Amino acid sequence: MRIGFASTFLLAVGFSVIVSVTGCGFKTDPVPPANVVPKPIDDLRYSIDETGVTLNWTYPDNTVQGDELTEIYSFDVHRAAVPLKDLCPTCPIPFSEPLEIPGGETADGGKRKVGEYKTSLLRSDHKYFFKITSRTSWWAASTDSNIVSFVWQIPTSAPAGFTVEPGDSRIVLSWQPVTTLIDGKTAKHPVSYQVFRSEGGKDFVPYGDPMSATELVDSKVLNGKKYFYKVQSLMSYEQHQISGGVSEIGDAAPLDKTPPNIPSGVRATATSTGTKVYWDRPDDPSVVGHRVYRRAAKRGKGEMIGEVAMPSSIFVDKAVPEKTKVYYSVTAMDSAEPSNESDPSKEATVR
């Protein structure tokens, strides 16, 4: 059963006609108001930065009777502001008259829509409370959502100099300490920082607990996968935590920088077609191939003369310099991007 705002309006008109006109021959029972009341919102949440507060919630898509809702007429945003000096934990929350904001279809492309409300009309030294109700018409309103609350104070500035550096199975974050408020005045209360992380384009979520340090090493990462980060300043104020500015977003993908083991058992044998160089086949699954180097006697460094892909562990040097003693070494290459190369093996020469 699909119920939208337009259907609700027609039902309301039909109900009015039945009440006011007797014997009109209308045979369909009207829909009681309770049948089109939306389920209450249960995921109201908020985020704060230096500009104010943003509320978000998911559109209800069912009535309290379990029927599907395709449209919400409007949302009512209920707000209360209480001076910190007047806070009373056992007193009722003094919500003011609600602010109505438009609704709409409950889904977009098969995905439930997310509502949003932003405000910067906040006063320092006040605690704010918010709740949301939804309507399918002026007379069909849901019960209250969960309540969210926070304390507002002039917030701290956003962390500057935010850097994100990739390493091997780790990403190092760092930023400059925050010492000022957004109005330029010196922060007189302790400042801490909350790091947020996003994986694969998903929403940012807190990474760990707030911290006083200005560097964090994230070792819960996979090489080659990109991660996104931002950090928010927080200020402790009269047993409350005031959310401050948020840094720019940084991203990085950790890199595998660990080379494979050095090849062992390198030997060289003269054949009719050239010098055969061979070595022990590695049992490391990350090794994808080997490089063979040749060094002429009395020279300090060899030159690469060939590459061999796994599973082969043999290379034939068909261009051996005449009347020159040469030495061969082998390195291993792994599957990382870019590939890591091991140190060269012990040298081998034809006996």
Q: In the chain, where are the structural domains located?
A: 2-152, 163-252, 267-334
Both tokens assigned to 12:
């309301």
pLDDT at 30: 53
pLDDT of 33 higher than 70: no
Indicate the CATH number of 267-334 among 2.60.40.10, 1.10.3720.10, 3.40.50.720, 2.60.40.2130.
2.60.40.10
Beta strands of 90-162 (E only): which ranges?
99-105, 107-108, 111-112, 114-119, 126-137, 140-141, 148-152
Domain at 163-252: CATH code: 2.60.40.10
Rounded to an integer, the average pLDDT of 151-175 is 95
What does the alpha-carbon distance between residue 207 and residue 219 come to, in Å, rounded to a whole number? 12
pLDDT at 18: 33
pLDDT of 304 higher than 90: yes
Higher pLDDT, 16 or 293: 293
Q: Which 3 state secondary structure label does DSSP give 185?
A: coil
pLDDT of 15 higher than 50: no
Both tokens assigned to 142:
């849901």
Amino acid at the residue 107: A
Q: What is the mean pLDDT of the chain?
A: 89
Percent of the chain exceeding pLDDT 90 equals 74
Q: Which of 169-178, 209-218, 330-339 has the lowest mean pLDDT?
A: 330-339
pLDDT of 24 higher than 70: no
Higher pLDDT, 309 or 338: 309
pLDDT of 318 higher than 90: yes
Domain 2-152 grouped into CATH 2.120.10.30: no
pLDDT of 31 higher than 70: no
What does the alpha-carbon distance between residue 190 and residue 6 come to, in Å, rounded to a whole number? 54
Element (H, E) at 53: strand 52-58
pLDDT at 25: 43
pLDDT at 234: 95
pLDDT at 241: 86
pLDDT at 159: 97
| CA gyration radius, the chain | 34
pLDDT digits (tens, 9 = 90+) for 55-72: 999 999 999 999 999 999
163-252 against 267-334: fold identical = yes
Cis preceding-peptide flag for 338 (omega within 30 of 0): yes
Q: Which of 1-10, 84-93, 326-335, 340-349 has the lowest mean pLDDT?
A: 1-10
CA angle (250, 255, 261) in 5-degree steps: 165
pLDDT digits (tens, 9 = 90+) for 186-227: 999 999 999 999 997 788 999 999 999 999 999 999 998 999
Rounded to an integer, the average pLDDT of 280-302 is 93
